[in-house]
Amino acid sequence: MDKRAEKLRRSLQMVMLRLKDNEVLQRVEIETLNEEQVFVADPLDPQILRSEQGIQLSLEELPGFLAGVMANAERGGIRFIERGTLVTVAVIANDVRLSLSTLTPPLHHRPVETGTRQQFIKVEEALELLQALGIASPEGKVRADRRRKFYQIDRFVELVDQVLQDWDSQRPLTILDCGCGKSYLAFVLNYWLMEKRRIPCRVIGIDSNEEVIATSRGIQQRLHYRNMEFHKSSILQYKASGPVDMILSLHACDTATDEALALGVFLNSRYIISVPCCQAALRQRIQYSPWEAIAKHSIFRNRLSDVLTDGLRVAALESRGYKVSVVEYVSPLDTPKNIMFRAVKINDSADDTEYRKLQNLVEGILPLESYLKSLDKSY
């Protein structure tokens, strides 16, 4: 074996070590003076690559195939394109050069510029993602009827990015999206973390609706996001196979908000991000006597119930060692359900005196408490 062939073998060996158990390889481009080939990773099996000519290779077979293509080439190049990263093997007359570069530089949290809303997700950079989600048109423009959704996902990324400034673990961040629906926000957050922030992550979406799970899986396959998975499951029946670092619960209806909060507390998740939707569970049980002059008007009664319910939810998290910030997620003109909880675990235990006092004041016990007891029995 000549020196160039041996150096190519070693270079390919290094690349394959990098790709082992890696879920971010998207395609391999091969170019010589005489031919060009592109192999795309199978969206369902990351160990398989397929070319437009119908050739199928496993990752194990790839180095031998590449060495054969380059053996008689005067010069050429092999490009391993990952999500956000490019690995290049350049083959020249008497040498082989291996290099690694980022397709876009990693970003860190930055202040929002005055006078504009869209800051984090750039249409031209995330076009494939936005088109897969139906937010951008085939012409590369944000659809007029999806512009509000576009603003919402950008604001969501901004707010979640802020709480992740202290994430420094060497293992991937595991995110569980409870009641994921069509998973727009999960897909966008996955893109932002993997391709912009360079934070390895694993995203799991669960929903009891088989149809939206099928839709999410279709989008995942189209985008080749192999670090995402979707399962038909209720929140309380889901069994985590390992640590869950972040719980997402965004406009989850009926009892799903309290179920997701309970699951996050039970799993000791470091982050819980929730945009609560339904607050009706306590409406008939709250003792309104201190505010009877106000609560006799049904619209005031309902709004008071919403505030007290969400206030109890925040107090419940704080009593379990979470630091909670309550922010406006989007404008109330977009949706009246525009409050976001961002909870970060800072202590293993905390004083629950204030939480108990609040419960006694309104004579209301959150469903979250009964769901925690249910999880204790079922896990």
My answer on whether 188 and 46 are in the same domain is: no
My answer on whether 73 and 157 are in the same domain is: no
Which residue's entry shows tokens 């206030």? Answer: 311
Q: Is the pLDDT of residue 5 over 70?
A: yes
Asked if 312 and 359 count as a contact pair (C-beta separation under 8 A), the reply is yes
Strand partners, 82: 25
Mean pLDDT of 55-80: 92
Strand partners, 45: none
Residue 323, burial from CB neighbour count under 10 angstroms (0-12, 13-18, 19+): middle
**Closest C-alpha to 57, from 38, 79, 76, 70:** 38
Q: How confident is the model at residue 109 (pLDDT cuts 50, 70, 90)?
A: very low
Domain-located, residue 161: yes
What is the pLDDT at residue 318?
95
Left if phi > 0, otherwise alpha if psi is -120 to 50, otherwise beta: which for 268? Answer: left
Domain-located, residue 112: no
My answer on whether 290 and 242 are in the same domain is: yes
Domain count, the chain: 2
Tokens of residue 54, six digits: 């119908």
Asked if 74 and 62 count as a contact pair (C-beta separation under 8 A), the reply is no
My answer on whether 71 and 178 are in the same domain is: no
Q: Is the pLDDT of residue 38 over 80?
A: yes
Domain-located, residue 110: no
> What integer best gives the mean pLDDT of the chain?
87
What is the spatial distance between Cα 216 and Cα 181, in angstroms, rounded to a whole number? 8
Q: How confident is the model at residue 56 (pLDDT cuts 50, 70, 90)?
A: very high
What is the spatial distance between Cα 304 and Cα 292, in angstroms, rounded to a whole number? 11
Last residue of a domain, one of 102, 137, 163: 102
Domain-located, residue 118: no
Q: Residue 80 — φ and ψ, nearest 5°?
A: -100, 110
My answer on whether 172 and 317 are in the same domain is: yes
What is the pLDDT at residue 113?
42
My answer on whether 229 and 172 are in the same domain is: yes
Burial letters for 160-190: b for 16+ Cβ neighbours within 10 Å, e otherwise? bbebbeeeeeeebbbbbbbbbbbbbbbbbbb
My answer on whether 333 and 215 are in the same domain is: yes
Q: Is the pLDDT of residue 106 over 80?
A: no
Q: How confident is the model at residue 83 (pLDDT cuts 50, 70, 90)?
A: confident
My answer on whether 172 and 281 are in the same domain is: yes
My answer on whether 187 and 282 are in the same domain is: yes
> Taking the chain, what is the end-to-end CA distance rounded to the nearest angstrom?
58
pTM, rounded to two decimals: 0.80
pLDDT tens across 265-286, in order?
999 999 999 998 766 666 767 7
Domain-located, residue 113: no
My answer on whether 209 and 86 are in the same domain is: no
- What percent of the chain has a predicted confidence (pLDDT) above 70? 91
What is the pLDDT at residue 279?
61
Domain-located, residue 203: yes
Q: Is the pLDDT of residue 105 over 60?
A: no
pLDDT tens across 186-239, in order?
999 999 999 899 899 999 999 999 999 999 999 999 998 989 999 999 999 999
Give the DSSP H/E element, type plus range, for residue 323. strand 322-328
Query: What Rg do the C-alpha atoms of the chain give, in angstroms?
Result: 25
Domain region containing 143: 127-378
Residue 300, burial from CB neighbour count under 10 angstroms (0-12, 13-18, 19+): middle
What is the pLDDT at residue 118?
47
My answer on whether 70 and 143 are in the same domain is: no
My answer on whether 73 and 200 are in the same domain is: no
Q: Is 263 helix (H, G, I), strand (E, B) or coil?
A: helix
Last residue of a domain, one of 67, 86, 102: 102
Tokens of residue 225, six digits: 């996001």
What is the spatial distance between Cα 51 and Cα 64, in angstroms, rounded to a whole number? 16
Q: Is the pLDDT of residue 2 over 60?
A: yes
Q: 343: how many CB neighbours lie within 10 A of its CB?
A: 28
Domain-located, residue 122: no
Q: Is the pLDDT of residue 259 over 80?
A: yes
Domain-located, residue 116: no
Instruction: Report the CATH number at residue 180.
Output: 3.40.50.150
Looking at per-residue confidence, does 193 or 102 come out higher? 193
